């Protein structure tokens, strides 16, 4: 059965790590808009340069660009069996765009997974990641700005998906495998 998921949570909540592990277990692609933008930035193509001009400052890439990139990605054959979106949607406009993409194929989301992690823990994790990965948007100022953008634009999506009855909250602090088991169990229960 096809499973269509999004994973929400603050920057540093563990969406990338948990999303890719969970997607592997469910045999669906994990699609991270941040990863796709970083791949384009590395290739220094037009999309990458444009995305980096926003991402490096901790700003969101404009919706038209992001939405059409996601639409193209979801049209790939590997998404027929479902997908897990990590880092998208990130504001109310992107929720509407995703709704339209899904409705065009009579599809719907099964769950909006949310990793709950307190603010100081995510900031500490991102500063740690900065030392390891050297991402340009992992400096303390940019991290704080990304947290503000998250709180203003993305956190309200939790209410939207709560109203739709598909939100699943999972504690994102603890052992990676335990957290993943909790996510897997929640999805299994939701799609039964
Ligand atoms: P992430 O790896 O999810 O933390 O994303 C890194 C950066 O990529 C973000 O700070 C944004 O600049 C950009 N980005 C990723 N996903 C989106 C999105 N859905 N909408 C706009 N910008 C995005």
Q: What are 82-117's pLDDT values in tens digits?
A: 999 999 999 999 999 999 999 999 999 999 999 999
User: How high does pLDDT run on average in the chain?
Assistant: 96
Q: Mean pLDDT, to the nearest integer, of 21-35?
A: 98
73 is catalytic: no
146 is catalytic: yes
* Neighbour tally for 78: CB within 10 Å: 12
Q: Tokens for 27, please give them.
A: 């045999």
15 is catalytic: yes
Determine the 3-state secondary structure of 117 from DSSP.
coil
> Which member of 4, 15, 38, 125 is catalytic?
15
144 is catalytic: no
Does residue 192 surpass a pLDDT of 90?
Answer: no
* CA of residue 192 to ligand 1 center, whole Å: 32
Does residue 40 surpass a pLDDT of 90?
Answer: yes
**pTM for this prediction:** 0.96
Site residues for ligand 1, CB cut-off 6 Å: 11, 33-34, 37, 54-55, 58-61, 66, 87-88, 90, 94, 137, 146
57 is catalytic: no
Contacts of 34 (CB under 8 A, 6+ apart): 16, 55, 86, 87
Residue of 6, 11, 60 best suited for mutating to test ligand 1, as the one with most atoms within 8 Å of CB: 60
User: Is there a contact between 165 and 95 (Cβ–Cβ < 8 Å)?
Assistant: no
Bond before 89 cis per omega within 30 degrees? yes
Give the pLDDT band of residue 1 (cuts 50, 70, 90). confident
Does residue 39 surpass a pLDDT of 90?
Answer: yes
> Which member of 4, 38, 125, 146 is catalytic?
146
Determine the 3-state secondary structure of 144 from DSSP.
helix
pLDDT tens-digit profile of 178-190?
Answer: 999 999 999 999 9
- Residue 164, phi then psi, degrees to nearest 5: -80, -5
Does residue 134 surpass a pLDDT of 90?
Answer: no
> Which member of 25, 57, 129, 144 is catalytic?
129
Q: Mean pLDDT, to the nearest integer, of 123-134?
A: 89
């Amino acid at each position: 059965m096809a499973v269509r998921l999004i994973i929400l949570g603050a920057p540093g909540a563990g969406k990338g790590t948990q999303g890719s592990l969970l997607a592997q277990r469910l045999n669906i692609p994990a699609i991270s808009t941040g990863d796709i933008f970083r791949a384009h930035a590395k290739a220094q193509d037009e999309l990458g340069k444009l995305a980096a001009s926003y991402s490096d400052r901790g700003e969101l890439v404009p919706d038209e660009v992001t939405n059409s990139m996601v639409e193209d990605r979801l049209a790939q054959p590997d998404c027929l069996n479902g997908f897990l979106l990590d880092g998208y949607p990130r504001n109310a406009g992107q929720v509407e765009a995703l709704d339209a993409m899904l409705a065009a194929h009579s599809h719907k989301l099964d769950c909006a997974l949310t990793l709950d992690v307190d603010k100081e823990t995510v900031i500490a994790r991102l500063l740690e990641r900065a030392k390891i990965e050297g991402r340009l948007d992992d400096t303390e100022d940019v991290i704080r700005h990304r947290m503000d953008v998250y709180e203003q634009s993305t956190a309200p999506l939790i209410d939207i998906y709560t109203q739709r009855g598909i939100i699943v909250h999972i504690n994102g602090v603890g052992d990676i495998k335990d957290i993943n088991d909790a996510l897997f169990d929640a999805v299994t229960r939701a799609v039964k």
